[in-house]
Structure 1
């Protein structure tokens, strides 16, 4: 079975949970529609799958961790809704459909993102309050998520991205630092939180974190490459927008071939973190890492 098929099977578990997770909450109808419009728009569900895979690798209870895993998709979705707004990247398409603010309106899109972000932390708590995970490990994982999604992570990275746009003096170290916050932090936290929720020791947590960091860098490099070489039909979003907006990217700094080489190097380092493990979960995590780079081969 191909890694793409395995990823689809694992993402279906998250998809099933997300499909019903906002029912019975008493939300205003239009707000819930806008939240679900983006939350249920498809995607690989990479972040929750990473969390559940590391959790299972380290003998965790993936049923108990599922609400926490789903919360990562809520946070990721909120960030996409806000990134697409006219004040940010001003994109009209997301996953092959009109962006949230185009389908609804700008104010509703902002509130849909706000709602998903806020509700996400309630779902994290559900892993302890309703699924029985120890409160201490859930709090530790939530602390990790706050740092990764907040001003020292994803939000700060978006600010840095905006400040770098249109500049010609950005170097590779600055680009790496920005993307480690904007893209890498949430991917890293997905792996780290999966380990934390499994009660991992410090060595296992270190390896999960290192894997996540390396995959995060490679993922962003590949995204930058695909914005140059991909097509709108397969990506589900406009291509060439980085150059049009004056964004600094890996291809703009080092070229396409060097970018591909860098992505492969980071994936090799991610896979090295798995050397001490064996079995189906180790094989899946290795295949998933390699699949990220295979998209641009």
Structure 2
């Protein structure tokens, strides 16, 4: 990624993290609640690519909106994504002891505290959006509805349920895999792009174009994740590798093989880049799209 785009990314992430800290300030004074807030912030501040809130912020800008309009939806999506990671790492799910190079939330805190931290990070986003002063009521209502649908049974959580069920099956095919990933990974990435457009008051045409772009990069993103689980190292990835095989997960690598999986990620990325031609000044987003394809972690 060119330095000018790296600088934009650094600026976006700095603003996103500042807002996340603001929205998770502890005001309770009760020791148990304080520790719960610590657990939430421990996972929120563990690093990560911040791809989803960056998409919110950049699509809002591309559609003529301000950073203030994007602030609440951007923080909200990162909280829900972080909640999913906390819950995914639990013993009942993927049973991973490390996340982003340090102990998972249930290892740094207790398993019960990790569950509650994840629960809180799913609920808090809706309060943040409802109380935001930069968005009008109609935008808030649409964003809240979109975010809820992409999180619940019709989105991320439903995808996780299918993923767990697939671990007990030996007949998982490519169609099943694409559908599961479209919910588990793709739903939040798509709503990130849509929320940015909605916050800016974009046309339905622009919202639909952003959605189609995000649909393609969401699947490409997951395919690269599948590849990295086989080809990367624990040190480079910041979490255990080989966990897909250990948990009997069917992935694009097991269905297609590494080479064909990489070709599919290349194809989806190229189609996503073509869709960005419909937005003026999309150089940063194109650079980010290519960066996601070539990432090592």
- For 1:6 and 1:269, the matched residues in 2 are separated by 24
Deviates more, 1:227-236 or 1:176-185: 227-236
Match of 1:78 in 2: 83
- For 2:108 and 2:24, the matched residues in 1 are separated by 20
- For 2:94 and 2:8, the matched residues in 1 are separated by 32
Match of 1:147 in 2: 149
2:176 corresponds, among 174, 177, 190, to: 174
Q: 1:28-177 to 2 correspondence within 5 Å?
A: 28-127=33-132, 130-131=133-134, 133-177=135-179
**Contact 1:7/1:44, CA 8 A, preserved across alignment:** no
Match of 1:284 in 2: 284
**Contact 2:69/2:199, CA 8 A, preserved across alignment:** no
* RMSD across aligned positions (CA): 1.5
TM-score scaled to structure 2, two decimals? Answer: 0.95
Match of 1:219 in 2: 221
Structure 1: which 4+ aligned runs deviate by more than 3 Å?
1-6
Deviates more, 1:46-55 or 1:58-67: 58-67
Deviation track 1:109-132 (CA, whole Å, cap 9, x = no partner) reads: 0000111111111111233xx23x
Deviates more, 1:177-186 or 1:161-170: 161-170
**Contact 1:166/1:248, CA 8 A, preserved across alignment:** no
The structural deviation recorded for 1:166 is: 4.1
The structural deviation recorded for 1:271 is: 1.0
- For 1:259 and 1:36, the matched residues in 2 are separated by 35
- For 1:220 and 1:22, the matched residues in 2 are separated by 29
Deviates more, 1:15-24 or 1:194-203: 15-24
**Contact 1:8/1:44, CA 8 A, preserved across alignment:** no
Q: 1:162-241 to 2 correspondence within 5 Å?
A: 162-241=164-243
Give the SS at the match of 2:278.
coil
Match of 1:13 in 2: 15
Asked if 1:255 corresponds to 2:257, the answer is yes
Aligned length: 292
The structural deviation recorded for 1:30 is: 1.1
The structural deviation recorded for 1:272 is: 1.2
- Could you tell me which runs of 5 or more consecutive residues in structure 1 were left unpaired when the two chains were aligned: none
Deviates more, 1:150-159 or 1:21-30: 21-30
1:244 corresponds, among 243, 246, 268, to: 246
The structural deviation recorded for 1:202 is: 1.2
The structural deviation recorded for 1:8 is: 3.2
